Amino acid sequence: MSAPLFEKIALVGIGLIGSSLARVIRREGLASHIAIATRSPETLKRAEELGLGGSYSTNAAEAVKDADLVIVSVPVGSSGTVAEEIAPALKAGAILTDVGSTKGSVIAQMKPHVPAGVHFIPGHPLAGTEKSGPDAGFAELFENRWCILTPLPDTDPEAVEKLSEFWRRCGSNIDTMDPEHHDMVLAIVSHLPHIIAYNIVGTADDLAAVTKSEVIKYSASGFRDFTRIAASDPTMWRDVCLHNKDAILEMLARFSEDLASLQRAIRWGDGEKLFDLFTRTRAIRRSIIEAGQEIDAPDFGRQVVAHPEKLAKS
Ligand code: NAP
């Protein structure tokens, strides 16, 4: 194990992402001290039982005092409130980052509170599961996943490099891009698929003609794969929808157009069109497997590789 990258890391929010960070920071020896803060005494108690940190508080300002790196891992709609709460306690020279799934909105909420001398570098690890809370995390979550940083134009490059090194030591590959681009890309690769999954599972749930027991009994026909995504945390996804509104509406408009065209092909028996589309999409799946972002196994494969014991529970 090499020397700690930071003396003190403060984790504000200790759910799936925060607790996975705590576990990998400890495993890799990335900090001499991990301070943990969360809003509720129940979650804090659980984090303490799991031994995720060195100190625990429901007061985020107290936890970030003297920290060299502060990572905010709360639902994106709460980023501004958290930034306001911790701002007066942030140490000059500290790096402040977040893991939120939207970037434009998080920057708009947090930046006005960030004191001069603190390096604010927004970030987003493209790693997750449908589970939440401190029990759901695991140290391998970020392995071979991308972490996108969206540094602001005046950010100190040395601070960006230090944060990039942190994520590399967590197992991730780093990309940097501007926040607007991030929000557009994530709208198509993550936000739209979640909205489609929520929608299709909702539609099946509403169907009076098909009983619920049949939906569940025959779910392996395809439906099941959507239910995993549609089991994702409602608070997190409500906030994502509300905080990446423009990009999501743009992608939904394109999606609806394409769906209408598909509907037309089915109505008019245009088999060639259907076959061409289904062939094109199959190639995308192959590229994802070749890029090492998935294995060629059913059930999305992810947990089989990353965390075999969790598979049994899911
Ligand atoms: P999570 O497991 O539900 O944990 C959320 C944490 O935030 C908990 O510590 C919770 O505290 C705290 N929190 C909730 N509401 C809060 C509020 N109003 N004010 C202050 N703290 C609050 O969530 P997660 O999956 O770790 O997600 C955290 C962030 O990571 C989100 O911004 C999400 O967009 C992003 N992200 C998630 C994924 C994913 O797949 N889950 C992937 C990449 C990025 P209490 O339990 O004490 O209330």
CATH number at residue 161: 3.40.50.720
User: Angle of helix 192-206 relative to helix 223-230, nearest 10 degrees?
Assistant: 110
Distance 268 CA to ligand 1 centre (A): 46
Other beta carbons within 10 Å of 217: 9
Q: Specify the pLDDT at position 167.
A: 98
Which of 177, 199, 214 represents a domain boundary (last residue)? 177
CATH number at residue 220: 1.10.3660.10
Q: Specify the pLDDT at position 238.
A: 98
Q: Specify the pLDDT at position 306.
A: 46
244-250: average pLDDT: 98
Measure the CA–CA gap between 170 and 304, rounded to whole angstroms: 19
Please enumerate in sequence order all residues whose Cβ is within 8 A of that of 11, keeping only pairs 6 or more positions apart, or say none: 18, 21, 22, 34, 35, 36, 37, 53, 63, 71, 73
Q: Specify the pLDDT at position 3.
A: 84
Q: Are residues 152 and 265 in the same domain?
A: no
Take residue 107 and report the two structure tokens written for it.
């920057």
Q: Answer whether 37 contacts ligand 1 (Cβ < 6 A).
A: no
DSSP-derived pairing of the beta strands 123-125 and 146-149: antiparallel
Domain count for the chain, please give it.
2
The helices-and-strands tally (H runs, E runs) of the chain is 15, 9
CA-nearest residue for atom 40, ligand 1, is 128
Domain range for 221 is 181-313
Percent of the chain at pLDDT above 90?
85
Q: Are residues 127 and 17 in the same domain?
A: yes
Please enumerate in sequence order all residues whose Cβ is within 8 A of that of 304, keeping only pairs 6 or more positions apart, or say none: 295, 297, 311
Which tens digits make up the pLDDT trace of 42-89? 999 999 999 999 999 999 999 999 999 999 999 999 999 999 999 999
Q: Are residues 143 and 227 in the same domain?
A: no
Distance 166 CA to ligand 1 centre (A): 20
Please enumerate in sequence order all residues whose Cβ is within 8 A of that of 109, keeping only pairs 6 or more positions apart, or say none: 79, 80, 83
Which tens digits make up the pLDDT trace of 84-135? 999 999 999 999 999 999 999 999 999 999 999 999 999 999 999 999 999 9
Which tens digits make up the pLDDT trace of 301-312? 444 444 444 433
